[in-house]
Chain A
Amino acid sequence: MGTASSSGSALQRLLKRRIGPWSGRVWGLVLNLAANAVTLWGVSSQLRTGSGWAWILIGGVATVACMAVLALPDRAADPAE
């Protein structure tokens, strides 16, 4: 999981990069919130009308993806190390 693979490093760089007002990590949290809302919208639709599986699937996959990326720690060497 947390090995310094090339894709891991690219994602870690993305998390650190400033994009507009916030860092990639903050944008990731916003995306996660949106994905959570989509999932719960799907659950709500499923409970009310019986047709929300697609939203649940899209939101659920996006939530898992956001969490998997956001959990990457910044393991870059520190100046004192």
Chain B
Amino acid sequence: MSGVPPGEPAARDPVEYPIAQKIPRAVLDAEAERLTELRQAPIHRRAGGYARLAGPGFMAAALTLGAGTLTSSMLSGATFGYRTLWLIWLSCGLGLFMMAAMARFTCKGGFRVIQVQNRRHSWLIGSLMTALVGTAAVAVIFNFGQVALGTHLIESLAPFAGFSFPAEYNWIVYVAVTSWLILSYGRRGGTGTRLVEWVMKAGIAIMIAAFGAVLLVVGVDWGAAARGTFVPWLPGGGEGLDLFIASSAAAVGVMDWVFFNYAGLGRGWGRNHESLARFDVIAGLFLPFVIVNFLVIGVFAATLFPQGITPESAPELAAALMPLLGPTWSQILFYVGFLAVPITTTVGMSLAGAMAIHEAFGWEPDTSSWRWKISALLPQIAFLAAWNARPVWLVIAIAAFLSLANNVVGWSMYLLLNDRKVLGADRSKSYLWNLGILLQVTLLNGIAITYVFNRLGWW
């Protein structure tokens, strides 16, 4: 896959992305050596080594596992029980084909995808639809949901420690912690990037440990869970189709694609990193996404579903769950695990937004510049959410509106992957790979079409 025969040292590619240029050459060379060693190692050692070197995939998972995704899973569990579990692995699995394309663009192509879109498909699709609408606007708008949830969770946790800390004040802590992480990225010769990646991995581990422990407390109906995981089921009528299209197309979207490409370039990935990039997509993005959503659906399927309680917002869902969790420690654990969700998403989205803004305006990213800092901290305007709780329907409405751009960006990615002038001999030569991407593109089309039909009163 890498094109480097076993035993031959992995040659480094020229590092062109400015964020990667801050990493000392010795560090990049040591990583290349390590990759060469791992290629000949037994599979379990290779997986362990890759897990330590991986990062952008975990960051994409942390970015994707945000307030919206988790609220949707909580609602699914509370409303339908275990029956929609199959949608989780299907939706993220479909997204893997596109993420593999991003790995190809990053490692074999070595290019910044938005720049190439601008050149091949016009700035309307690259700078506007992919960078500004699909990534930067999403980062700003969706951060309102993260801050609202994060500050609410801090407010809910404080009484367990014996004091009150309302959202109107604790937003300062939320914004300070996330801003520090955001501004650490790309600093101090690459160690800042590794720090952020480590925090993202730790955030995912906390989510899995916390939700897993809570699920053990509330218990699992394994038979129903197995049926829900492998036997497709949807509610009848338009509701079922809406749920299918929205869930299956929205799990991994434009922001994840763009972020994976730029975060990989920011790590100095080149031709020899494609195996690592694919590992990162599966172990870093797919598995955490499936496991965390499975656990959250499981918790709500075991608690609120049997009682027929279906609150509408994440704080209401969490509050309704608390009396059913039993011991105090399991309530604290749930809140702590849940708090990792908005924190990691705010950090990931802000970085993706800054990368996209720089690409849209043709600026070179310099993480020590004021331009970078302002772009990266732009989504923090969402601190205003501490005073204004956001109803779930508004988040869903904005998501639908932004989804109008996603299918066109998906077309663009599919075309780039098949473009001989862009990738040369490294373009897609696989029927199955193209088919997987087309399935996702068709579902994204479905989102755009149902949105338009909705506006016209036909849906």
Contacts and interface: CB of A to CB of B under 8 A. Distances in A.
A33 to B, nearest CB: 5
Contact of B442 (A41, A43, A67, A81): A67
B323 to A, nearest CB: 38
A71 B438 contact: yes
Interface stretch (B5-13, B102-110, B111-119, B427-435): B427-435
Contact of B418 (A41, A44, A67, A74): A74
Interface in B225-261: 237-238, 241
B96 to A, nearest CB: 16
B425 A73 contact: no
Contacts, number: 72
Nearest to A47: B238
Interface in A34-73: 36-37, 40-41, 43-44, 47, 63, 67, 70-73
Interface residues of B, number: 31
Contact of A29 (B411, B433, B453): B411
A47 B450 CA distance: 13
B458 interface: yes
Nearest to A28: B438
A20 interface: no
Interface in B386-442: 407, 411, 414-415, 418, 420, 424-425, 427-435, 438-439, 441-442
B430 A32 contact: no
A67 B441 CA distance: 10
Nearest to B424: A78
B415 A73 contact: no
B241 A73 contact: no
A41 B241 CA distance: 13
A75 to B, nearest CB: 5
A81 B429 CA distance: 14
B330 interface: no
A1 B442 contact: no
10 nearest CB pairs, A to B: A2-B431, A71-B434, A71-B435, A78-B425, A36-B445, A67-B438, A73-B429, A1-B431, A29-B411, A37-B449
